[in-house]
Structure 1
Amino acid sequence: MQIPSTVAIIMDGNGRWAKKRGLPRTAGHKKGADTIRDIGLAANDIGIKKLILYAFSTENWKRPEDEVGYLCKLPGIFFDRYMKELMENNIRVTFAGELEKFPEETQKVIQKAVNLSQNNTGLNLCLAINYGSRREIVLGIQKYAQDIKEQKRNNDLTEDEFQQYLFVPEDIDLMIRTSGEVRLSNFLLWQVAYSEFIFTPVPWPDFDRQCLIDCIKEYNERDRRFGGLSS
């Protein structure tokens, strides 16, 4: 079975999972954090090189204040519980997004995990946090324009070079969205130009190792032509 090198997941359905069980939305986010641990370990075992998880979008600030407050605390809860296990499994933690807009304590927790795991050589577990793809592209354009202004480069940008100005510089092989919604929600718009998409009805808290394997099996059934013809 061919394993996709870079996989991205829109972790959707935490709130609906909780509501269905008569629980507060925060309970769904807590269970969803446990799923991050499970899927991170599974992806590492399977041989995926980079797993990018849509943890907090630039639009999530519009949610109720108590829910946003809990989401800001969740990285601390997650890494307190699972960082030791991530380290034991050689998993490297990175992030994509504007971390500086989070409370200082949240920034410290995430940066500590990044620093602690920076020499690990297994799965790159990338948390897209305060991330929005349109914002990412605009920031990339601004960085490029600044380089030209400072005469660090000529105005001869290629597509491959532009991607290096983005938070996520890799193309995505497989994009998965859980919980039945069929849209990208401003996630990795540049990077998914030739991705395979799988939209599963399974909510993120119930998405397990077998679900991931099933998605990879479906990925293997696709004919990836990148604009060309089948061989």
Structure 2
Amino acid sequence: MQFPKHIAIIMDGNRRWAKKRFMPAALGHAAGAKRVRDIVSACSELGVAHLSLFAFSTENWKRPEEEVSSLMGLFMTYLQKEVDDMNANGVRLRLVGDKSRFSPAMQDLMDRAEQQTAQNTQITLTVCANYGGRWDMIQAAQAWQKANPDQNLQALTEEALASHLSTAYAPEIDLLIRTGGESRISNFMLWQAAYAELFFTDDLWPDFSPARLKQAIDWFAQRDRRFGSSAPL
């Protein structure tokens, strides 16, 4: 039975969860942040080596200023409160995306969180913030060119580009989950998800339970993964 080494989740539905309860969007995002802890713990207990979460996309800056500000405050609070627990539970935290748009205080907090958990090996949690799959491929190509200034693009290979992606430390995604009832990947890890199995659920993110996670993993175990070949592996 196959088991996913790398699970990625598009955490969709926080605002709708709040709206159904006549709450402001900020409370939906706060409920979603609490759910993260449960899912990280569940993945760790199940033996998932890598978990990647889509926290804030490059497109999310288009949301109302008040909501963006609330999200930034929640993100900082999450980092401040959760890192000690992550460290105690063997969680290695990686934060990927274009960090240049965040405040200096936020960037410093992100750097310290990564450094504090750098030696942990139980599970690697990647939180994607101000991240986009297209951005990732462009920055990887630019990084390759910078590292190889005397070569032209004809020398660029898939392996070379992959080594400069923001998640080069992780294997490609095996199982990509999206909550909230939508059936698209919304510019999330486009390269890394090339052969991912896609699991869509109507559960809004704050309602996505460890039991539903296990259901997705069991579904994945039954998939016939051929990676373009004509015979099952």
1:73 aligned onto 2:76: no
Hey, what's the Cα distance between the residues in 1 that align with 2:116 and 2:123?
A: 14
Which of residues 222, 229, 232 is equivalent to 1:230?
A: 232
CA deviations over 1:44-76 (Å, ceiling 9, x no partner): 111111111000000010001111011111222
The runs of 5 or more residues in structure 2 that have no matched partner are none
Residue aligned with 1:112, SS: helix
Matched residue, 1:221: 222
Residue aligned with 2:176, SS: strand
Matched residue, 1:142: 142
What is the Cα deviation at residue 154 of structure 1? Answer: 8.8
Hey, what's the Cα distance between the residues in 2 that align with 1:125 and 1:42?
A: 12
TM-score between both structures, scaled by the size of structure 1: 0.94
TM-score between both structures, scaled by the size of structure 2: 0.94
What is the Cα deviation at residue 152 of structure 1? Answer: 7.8
Q: CA RMSD in A?
A: 1.6
Matched residue, 2:36: 36
Instruction: Between 1-10 and 211-220, report the one with greater CA deviation.
Output: 1-10
Runs of 4+ in 1 over 6 A off after TM superposition: none
Q: Number of residues paired by the alignment?
A: 230
Residue aligned with 1:59, SS: helix
Structure 1 residue identity aligned to 2:27: A
Instruction: Between 92-101 and 10-19, report the one with greater CA deviation.
Output: 92-101
Q: Is the 8 A contact 2:51 2:126 kept in 1?
A: yes
CA deviations over 1:125-166 (Å, ceiling 9, x no partner): 0000100111111111112222332x3899533212211111
Matched residue, 1:185: 186
Hey, what's the Cα distance between the residues in 1 that align with 2:79 and 2:41?
A: 14
The runs of 5 or more residues in structure 1 that have no matched partner are none
1:92 aligned onto 2:92: yes
Structure 2 residue identity aligned to 1:226: F
Hey, what's the Cα distance between the residues in 1 that align with 2:25 and 2:182?
A: 18
Matched residue, 1:162: 161
User: What is the percent sequence identity of the aligned residues?
Assistant: 40
Matched residue, 1:195: 196
Matched residue, 2:52: 52
